[in-house]
Amino acid sequence: MNTPANTSKPVPQPEAELRAPENENTLATLAMPLGETVLTLTASGVPIYGILHRSRAMTGQSDFFRLQFRGFARTEGNQWLHYSNDDARFHTSYNCAWVRVDHPSRSVTFGPKNGINCTEAFAGLGLDTFLFAQTITWVKGAYPDYAISPGLIGITGNVSEEEKLRRNAFYASQGFQFDWQDAAQRTGLYFKDKVSRLLGVWDKEHIQEVGGEAMLQSLALQDETRAELEDKVNRLESSYSSIKSALQRERNTSQILMGVLIIGVMLALWALI
């Protein structure tokens, strides 16, 4: 007996509704430290040293990666001038950058949402570009095929054309495109179709990250240089002591000869009287 073929069409299954992305503030509280390194910046030839902190949170839905920077000190001559107050602290809205990965939508979002802002002491030194580039580099290595959620950029108040160009160049230098909401380009969206097409570049000449091994090598070199200088100073001091002793002996000899000469003169005068 032949079984009749099943000609009924399959019932379409409703698409699973995507969950809303997890809140970045919640993810930040879950983030675990990945380590700290020394970051060096250069401001008009003056070295600036700070601490770069990495952290990461992973849930079933999200992957969250954040970098935070705090200043330690700048050097002027032989003096170390330590930073204080906001410049010396880790912040959630200043001197930091993060990227949130949402697995259900296979998309990433960069933050902070109001842009990467630096405290006044570190503004204009390329720190914002470095932090942004580091988040891009990380997410390119982990999720290159994910899409990018557009980010909002805007300017409030009176700004110059140069400031607008600088803002646009900040995003364009990393490979982003723009969708402007007004002809004056005051507000708009920065976007890119895929993570792998971003760049992740910064000024490597003026901003450098120093790991633990490099720091130890630097300290060892400083100790060797200090030991060599101390040895030279000791040799100079020894040479100076020898010269000083020789001069003192010559001075004593001269004084003795002078005394003998005076006595001789006195005896000769005495004999004439």
At 8 the pLDDT is 60
How much of the chain is in helix, strand and coil states, percent to nearest 5? 40, 30, 35
Buried b (16+ CB within 10 A) or exposed e, 203-214: eeeebeeeeeee
CA-wise closest residue to 31 among 40, 39, 22, 18: 22
CA-wise closest residue to 69 among 151, 21, 156, 132: 132
DSSP letter at 79 equals E
262: helix, coil or strand?
A: helix
At 11 the pLDDT is 59
pTM of the model as a whole: 0.77
CA-wise closest residue to 31 among 100, 125, 113, 111: 100
Output the tens digit of pLDDT for each of the chain's 273 residues: 455 555 566 656 655 678 999 999 999 999 999 999 999 999 888 999 999 999 999 999 999 999 999 999 998 888 999 999 999 999 999 999 999 999 999 999 999 999 999 999 999 999 999 999 999 999 999 999 999 999 999 887 888 899 999 999 999 999 999 999 999 899 999 999 999 999 999 999 999 999 865 554 655 566 666 667 777 777 777 777 778 777 777 777 777 777 667 776 677 667 776
